[in-house]
Structure 1
């Protein structure tokens, strides 16, 4: 799968236990203001922001759970679980997303480029949701398959809903999978904390991930800000790109192989919280971090502008609004620096 023609590469248009905040989270509770920030600072690749501070239903799992088809969810003891029937918690999650989509349509009515929307991937969802009888859904392979099918249908409908609201834009889907490495390695703890769930085989993971990507029908990237990201599995599942925290990359060979095979890279190069100095990174510092990695990989600089988007390392929900603006601006301007070299 190729990147969409209008997708920006470097700032301009060109050819576990609990999931961590992922790359599209922002602080605060005002979706209108969050959307203005995104559209203002990231005009080449805006996204539908997530504001988990609004409470249950605005979080990664609740938001994605609201998309599931014929698998209602509910809160029980502050955890999301499969419910016997739709209820108040599910209505809240769906209402929040509906209002967010309406706000996106209002502010981006004339937008004509790519726009990114995010959902939890099937394995992060399976490692987070509980069965009605208790225990993580991940423990039941049949339930994981059913969850994946439900998610695939929900994702298809979600993408279509965004496309209807923004008919001049092209939709790009992001699957947030912070738990995927732990699922594959058998590191997801059981409820007692004394054991771990059985590892999911790579071929099974590839097949189920492909099910969701294929159902989306649009270019899809997989975001994982954990160590040991299964890059070849993600590429062979049909993803168009992968989003990584560069600080978690320790082995360059797998990354070089998938980039050489054409996988796009969203390079998480800017810290999500201020460094010890308290000052946000400059665009020059962010650009230098990406440039250094690219040179170590051994690819010619001309390919960087074709395959790389500069991003924050992960979600910004824990940052101040001032830091969010500064980091998004630094990433955007770093992309421009790299493209113009």
Structure 2
């Protein structure tokens, strides 16, 4: 079992965080530090990757535009700078390296169309965003591989908003109504755009959601090779579903934290034992992560959380 983090971290010392995750974690990752501005958060990072689609930052958030706006160009410049730092701090790195990107459904639920309201409301626009994102992620994988040639790239697709999209819980621009729910075949199509592009680029697609009732069957069917989730939100009634996808070859990455690494390790052991799997079956495939990002913690607390996770995997 290895240890990693979801992706977001506090503060603005990007180089220091990169150095920390490379030194401390068995699965290091390219961090996101949203405190540095809108272009550094999960949505801003995804906007920076869009291929052929313009966007700019408005009072209500990111909005699609005819051409790249100043804020999108700044987000791209910041990402390029971060990759420079990553390259410098990972000299000689071999093994897996994780990068994160906002998934297509969380992205269209967060972004607006040129004339307002969410991209989610427009079938054509959301399909275009998914295709643009998939192309941009593939190019991003190629760039990271060029800069860190010894790494095997893992792409974590963040979909914290997927459950709300499926349940029709995303509010309209007025805040009065809700957008229509998206059915599983439509959700699968956009997710598959991304997983197919990631695989074609030679990387491994995994997905993370810190919401309750993660649609694990949908996600495994869309081509993700691992599912990262908040273990504290998994209900006993869902255990059979988690066991089925694990048995089908999809790895499970439980997210959990505790003040004591021993207690944390016992929680993970108990979960997989309750699924009906012995340690030999799950231990080599599991990755321990945090439940969600750590941007809301202090820098010292965030690092302590990750260290405890790393220690739990070594017990």
TM-score range, shorter chain: over 0.9
Q: Which residue of 1 aligns with 2:226?
A: 241
Q: Deviations over 1:247-291 (max 9, x none)?
A: 1111212111111111111110116xxxxxxxxx12101101111
Q: Deviations over 1:143-197 (max 9, x none)?
A: 1111111011101100000000011111100000000111111111111122111
Q: Which residue of 1 aligns with 2:84?
A: 102
CA contact (8 A) 1:118 1:174 kept: yes
Report the Cα offset of residue 80 of structure 1. 0.5
Gaps of 5+ in 1: 1-8, 13-21, 272-280
Matching residue within 12, 32, 37 for 2:15: 32
Q: Which residue of 1 aligns with 2:275?
A: 297
TM-score for both structures, normalised by structure 2: 0.96
2-structure distance, mates of 1:322, 1:28: 10
Aligned residues: 310
Report the Cα offset of residue 26 of structure 1. 0.4
Q: Which residue of 2 aligns with 1:213?
A: 195
Q: Which residue of 2 aligns with 1:87?
A: 69
Q: Secondary structure at the match of 2:277?
A: coil
Report the Cα offset of residue 303 of structure 1. 1.4
1-structure distance, mates of 2:217, 2:16: 38
Q: Secondary structure at the match of 1:39?
A: helix
Q: Which residue of 2 aligns with 1:10?
A: 2
Matched, 1:256 2:248: no
Report the Cα offset of residue 10 of structure 1. 3.3
2-structure distance, mates of 1:254, 1:195: 32
Matched, 1:139 2:126: no
Alignment of 1:86-235 (within 5 A): 86-217=68-199, 218-235=203-220
CA contact (8 A) 1:173 1:219 kept: yes
**Alpha-carbon spacing, 1:107–1:297, altered in 2? closer, same or farther (3 Å):** same
TM-score for both structures, normalised by structure 1: 0.88
Report the Cα offset of residue 122 of structure 1. 0.3
2-structure distance, mates of 1:56, 1:216: 25
Matched, 1:332 2:314: no
Q: Secondary structure at the match of 2:12?
A: coil
Q: Which residue of 2 aligns with 1:41?
A: 24
2-structure distance, mates of 1:322, 1:11: 18
Name the Cα RMSD after superposition.
1.4
Q: Which residue of 2 aligns with 1:282?
A: 260
CA contact (8 A) 1:283 1:334 kept: yes
2-structure distance, mates of 1:321, 1:138: 35
Report the Cα offset of residue 78 of structure 1. 4.5
